[in-house]
Structure 1
Amino acid sequence: LYILLPVLDNDKHYYTGENEVQVLLDKGKSWLKDHPAKTLITNRYLRNLKSFARMALRELNDESLVDEKALPEISPELKEKKLSLNKQRLQAVTEQLLKINARSVVDFGCGEGKLIRELLKKPQFSKILGIDVSYNELLKAKERMHWDRMPEKKRERVELVQGSLQYCDERTLDFDAAAIVEVIEHMDADRLASFEQIVFSYSRPIHVIITTPNHEYNVLYEGMKADALRHNDHRFEWTRKEFNIWANKVANNHNYSVNFYGIGDKHEKYGTPTQMAVFTLKSEEEE
């Protein structure tokens, strides 16, 4: 039902991203692989985005060739914007980490390791910890980093571990910075308080960088309803004002300062698609 309900509805309620491919495979691979309507279901679940449907069908077919003529063409403009925003987000976070002279970074909710791969390109980052609740995501991260072939000196700089943002974990202590990229919107709102305590009170890095969607910007995505979310796994999405209120409250609660930045193409009225907060622990003189 998780897969079939949006297929039967065929109405776009959220922005379809690349991670929807993995959701489809995780939820449907056991039965979808041999289903007679496999192509139709995949197509409609992924909102007729050709590149995503092709990716999913290759996985379902064990890398066999897919009839690309059966897949609707993805708009080059949409593809370019999507790739551009993701790249801009990773670049913005990496630039902030360089700017604050962080040498050790914990990437909470690292997923398949996109940010970590960027950080590994910069010798400044001598200690990188990626932590994610999904063991499968960590395996993907290792695969995409070519873990087995990674030079020893490079591999000594990074560690990937399974863990949760809802529990204290001593492995996350004593880091210069924490990066939490497109993660909080996947949490239930009633878990934000415990998340806040874990990151800002227990782990307590000198800097914390959080990115999250700007809900105001959604009206600019073609076909999205006014109250829709970009992803069906998002529990909420904040406006700039809502994010500002939450982040300032967190900063005040834990003796951090906070600055805000936009990522992506800026609209005069709706701002940027991604918003970023950079928290810095206050010194004793600033307390």
Structure 2
Amino acid sequence: MLLTITTTATPAADLGYLLHKHPDRVQTFGQSFGTAHVFYPEAGEERCTAALLLDVDPVALVRTRAKNTPDFSLGQYVNDRPYAASSLLASAMANTFRTAMRGRCDLRPELAASALPLEIVLPALPCRGGRNQAERFFEPLGWRVEATRVPLDPGFPEWGDSRYVTLRLTGEMRLADALNQLYVLLPVLDDAKHYWLAPDEVDKLIRAGEGWLAGHPDRAAIIRRYLADRRKLVRAALGRLADSDGSPEDELDRDPLDEEPPAIDLTAAEPGAPDPDPEHEAAPPPVPLAERRIQAVLETLYAEGAGRVIDLGCGTGKLVARLKQDNRFTKITGVDVSYRAVQIAHRRGLPDDHGAGQHGAGQHGAGQHGPDQVPRVEILQSALTYTDERFRGYDAAVLMEVIEHVDAPRLGAVERVVFGDARPRVVLVTTPNVEYNVRYEGLAPGAMRHPDHRFEWTRAEFAAWAERVAAAYGYRLRYVPVGDDDPEVGAPTQMGVFTKEAA
């Protein structure tokens, strides 16, 4: 089976730096089911193509067959696995391009962070659902998709088409994002995996789906196929995506398991069970933790009478969008270090136009800004580890699920910037409670909730940090549990409310 990746970004041969594979050499990597070869059919200044060729050993493949494959099945020996792109190719990608998938390139860091013109070709891809399914999964990610049906036999067109397509993707994308999308979507389109699913498969999915899966309109279908409709794993993955603040705003009030009918009706009564009481109304679906965090932050801002609010580490602007809907907030600013996140927030229409922005956007909209007036809502790109005069002058600052993404040695810089220089009257800090992680099915012991978390604190560790900061910078401190407060392990999110002491 074959995968080719082509770029025309000059100098194109720098693709070798990103893949950590030299264009002048053919490299071979042993797999449990065969051998992967990486080579470059072309490597020039203006165009470069890297190829991953996977040579599957049929005997080794039989030895690694799925647990539920019957021993007498001819499917062990007569199948398309050595020839059609599948989870085998995804596994080979993860083994050979591991560093590239993490987005690391010490010699060309700016290249690893940049979107490149890419063309990806898979000559034979099993695609349950056909061409439309490939378009459905890849187009929302920004790809132009060309999926051509492969006939069963070109010599006998009356036999019709096979279940395979030749897939060509073109677009501008970070190479790491492209590889991670392929890693997830190849077995999803095939709707099969060559290995038995363990609970850590959720961790792999969350890690590879970072930055794109939570916002995909068909994420529920992707997750179900990737996890083979294993109900506990699917629920764990959907819950962790919702808890990571990655879900679009209009999805927060929906039960993710209702987004697409599952292969088996999970809501059907067991055989012989009594009919449900028609007078008893079904309980409403639980509110996702991401939404409960936002509600807790909003309620605290209302209680503190904060009108001017800055969201430090705003991501793509989920909280900013909610603040914008309420005219009690007279000045709203979102700040994030990620250029991509800021651009997404701009595309969502969150900042006000300096010349024609609406004051009190949405249903609370009030008059127009004049050409010289400051917009009510702004989105800025800046780092929280450096003082920035634009952070000053706010009633409240919010750091919602931010500090755990900061390397521990740099937390002191964040403290000085927020509490020492910006010095808002109120600071709200939320962070995961690591003690609660044992309640998440599918989260491996010792694993963190998000692949980018540098740490996750116990309640005692968070209290020690918060009390030290409050004492150092003259703030009073109180704690607010967010989510269901478990009597043994506490709430899933812990929030500290810092209020500046009167002079």
Cα distance between partner residues in 1 of 2:418 and 2:205 = 39
Is residue 246 from structure 1 mapped to residue 469 from structure 2 by the alignment? no
Relative to 1, partners in 2 of residues 1:68 and 1:203: Cα closer, same or farther, differing over 3 Å?
A: closer
In structure 2, the CA distance between the partners of 1:133 and 1:4, relative to structure 1 (3 Å rule), is farther
Whose Rg is larger? 2
Alignment TM-score, normalising by the size of structure 2: 0.46
Task: State the secondary structure of the residue aligned to 2:477.
Answer: strand
Which residue of structure 2 lines up, in the alignment, with residue 112 of structure 1? Answer: 316
* Equivalent pair of 2:224/2:230 in contact (CA under 8 Å): no
- Show structure 1 runs of 5+ residues with no match: 9-21
Q: Distance in 1 between matches of 2:92 and 2:466?
A: 35
Give the alignment of 1:1-287 within 5 angstroms.
26=174, 28-31=176-179, 38-40=185-187, 47=204, 56=213, 70-71=225-226, 72-73=228-229, 75=231, 78=236, 79=238, 82=242, 84-145=288-349, 152-154=358-360, 156-284=375-503
Query: 2: CA distance between counterparts of 1:99 and 1:58?
Result: 32
Cα 1:227–1:48 change in 2 (3 A) is closer
Distance, in Å, in 2 between the alignment partners of 1:131 and 1:67 is 31
Q: Which moved more, 1:124-133 or 1:144-153?
A: 144-153
SS at match of 1:218: helix
Residues 208 and 278, structure 1, Cα contact 8 Å, conserved in 2: yes
- Note if contact 1:179-1:208 (Cα within 8 Å) is conserved in structure 2: yes
Contact 2:399/2:429 (8 A) holds in 1: yes
- Mapped to 1, the partners of 2:389 and 2:482 lie a distance apart of 32
| Displacement over 6 Å in runs of 4+ | 3-6, 66-69
> How much has 1:153 moved relative to structure 2?
2.3
Structure 1 position 136, deviation (Å): 1.0
**Aligned partners of 1:107 and 1:57: how far apart in 2?**
21
Query: How far did residue 70 of structure 1 move?
Result: 4.3
CA distance in 2, matches of 1:28, 1:184: 25
Pairwise CA distance, 1:38? 4.5
CA 227–101 in structure 1, closer or farther in 2 if over 3 Å, else same: same
The 1:202/1:7 distance shift into structure 2, 3 A limit, reads same
| Higher relative strand content | 2
Q: Which one has a larger percent helix, Structure 1 or Structure 2?
A: 1
1:120, 1:154 within 8 Å by CA — same for their partners in 2? yes
The TM-score with structure 1 as length reference comes to 0.78
- SS, match of residue 359 in structure 2: helix
What secondary structure is seen at the aligned counterpart in 2 of 1:175? coil
Alpha-carbon separation, structure 1, partners of 2:475 and 2:215: 47
Distance 1:246 1:179 in 2: 17
Q: Distance in 1 between matches of 2:501 and 2:382?
A: 28
Q: Structure 2: any 5+ residue segments left out of the alignment?
A: 1-18, 20-89, 96-140, 142-172, 194-200, 243-251, 253-287, 362-374
Deviation at 1:74, TM superposition (A): 7.3
Question: Alpha-carbon deviations, 1:105-144, whole Å to 9, x = none?
Answer: 1100000100011111211101011111111101111223
- Partner Cα separation in structure 1 for residue 462 and residue 93 of structure 2: 29
Structure having greater relative contact order (Cα 8 Å, sep ≥ 6):
1
Separation (CA, whole Å) in 1 of partners of 2:415 and 2:294: 23
Q: Distance in 2 between matches of 1:57 and 1:261?
A: 27
Cα distance, 1:267–1:32 mapped onto 2, change above 3 Å: closer
Contact 1:39 1:57 in 2 (8 A): no
Letter in 1 for 2:334: G
**CA separation of 1:32 and 1:202: change in aligned 2, threshold 3 A:** closer
Aligned-residue Cα RMSD (Å) equals 3.7
Contact 1:106–1:129 (8 Å) recurs in 2? yes
Deviations 1:62-100 (A, max 9, x none): x9xx98984434757544684510000011101111110
- How far apart are the structure 2 equivalents of 1:141 and 1:213? 24
2-structure distance, mates of 1:57, 1:99? 31
Sequence identity, in percent? 37
Q: 1:200 to 1:27 in 2, by over 3 A?
A: farther
| Structure-2 separation of matches of 1:103 and 1:240 | 30
Amino acid at match of 1:86: A
Shift of 1:39: 1.8
In the other structure, the counterpart of 2:119 is: none
